[in-house]
Amino acid sequence: MKVLYFAWLRERIGVGSEDIVTSAATVADLVAELTAREDRYAAAFADMSAVRIAVNQVMTDSTASLADAHEVAFFPPMTGG
Amino acid sequence: MSVSVQSDDFDIGTEIARLTQDRSDIGAVVTFTGLVRDMGSGQPVSAMELEHWPGVTETALQGIEAEAHTRWPLQGTRIVHRYGPLLPGDRIVLVAAASPHRGAAFQAAEFMMDYLKTRAPFWKKEETPDGARWVDARDADDAAEARWAQP
């Protein structure tokens, strides 16, 4: 599965995009798995209230299923304009 | 309807001319231009970096334009948003709405900006004397978007 990170999440994790092999059932499971894997993920996901999520480029939340997911993106609230 | 996400600057006069070219039924064009300010959260800002999500950004902006067209009688709309390194005074964003009458054009332009702020995947990073920092989303922007909620 392709996982994307933007803004300070990208900086904390150190990459903007990576392929992750996981059997996580939901986004929350994926976050827990990555957090347990390395400190840089734990630092990025420490406060999930500050993190927005998109699965297959559609905005969702951490309860979302990954059953049909080919891409998951994590990013802070948007600040364009 | 047309959107551009680009690192290059844009020219407001050129954009208005394109929107109204070969037409005489447009009575009002409202444009909004957003600029980089030299202050943010009470601190001087010397430079800005705008990150976005290529592909998804364009789709989000097109969706915002389409939504505006369902709500007001618009004859044309245009959104241009820049990304990459910018300096104070630089133009960041342009929205334009053309309509037979000014009311719809004013409202549609404000609507597109309010939606863009919270729904288009852009992230600003500011350079300050204390170092670089990512700009926090503002509650005021959520409130501005909520004004347009339909029952």
The domain segmentation of chain A, as residue ranges, is: 2-75
pTM for the model stands at 0.94
Model confidence pLDDT, tens digit, residues B4-15: 999 999 999 999
Question: Across residues B130-134, what is the average pLDDT?
Answer: 96
Region of A47 (left: φ > 0; alpha: ψ -120 to 50; beta: rest) is: beta
Residues of chain B contacting A, Cβ within 8 Å: 34, 50-53, 56, 59, 81, 92-93, 113, 116-125, 134-137, 141
CATH fold label, A2-75: Ubiquitin-like (UB roll) (3.10.20)
Residues in chain A with pLDDT < 50? none
Would you call A75 an interface residue with chain B, using a CB distance cutoff of 8 Å?
Answer: yes
Q: Using pLDDT thresholds of 50, 70 and 90, give the confidence band for residue B150.
A: confident
Q: What pLDDT does residue B147 have?
A: 94
Contacts for B52 with CB less than 8 Å, ≥ 6 apart: A80, B5, B81, B83, B120, B121, B122, B123
Whole-number Å distance between alpha carbons of B75 and B27? 10
Question: Across residues B131-148, what is the average pLDDT?
Answer: 93
Q: Do B117 and A81 touch (CB under 8 A)?
A: yes
Whole-number Å distance between alpha carbons of B119 and B116? 5
- Give the H or E element holding residue B97: strand B91-99
**B92 or B150, greater pLDDT:** B92
Q: Which domain holds residue B39?
A: 3-140
Whole-number Å distance between alpha carbons of B26 and B43? 43
Note whether residue B89 is domain-resident.
yes
Q: Is the pLDDT of residue B151 over 90?
A: no
- Interface test with chain A among B123, B126, B134, by most A beta carbons within 10 Å: B123
- Shortest CA gap A42–chain B (Å): 19
Model confidence pLDDT, tens digit, residues B112-129: 999 999 999 999 999 999
Note whether residue B146 is domain-resident.
no
Share of chain B above pLDDT 70, in %: 100
Q: What distances in angstroms separate CA B12 from CA A62, B16, B79, B113, B124, one per listed residue?
A: 41, 6, 11, 16, 22
Q: Is the pLDDT of residue B17 over 90?
A: yes
The CATH number of the domain where B53 resides is what? 3.90.1170.40
> What was the ipTM of the complex prediction?
0.94
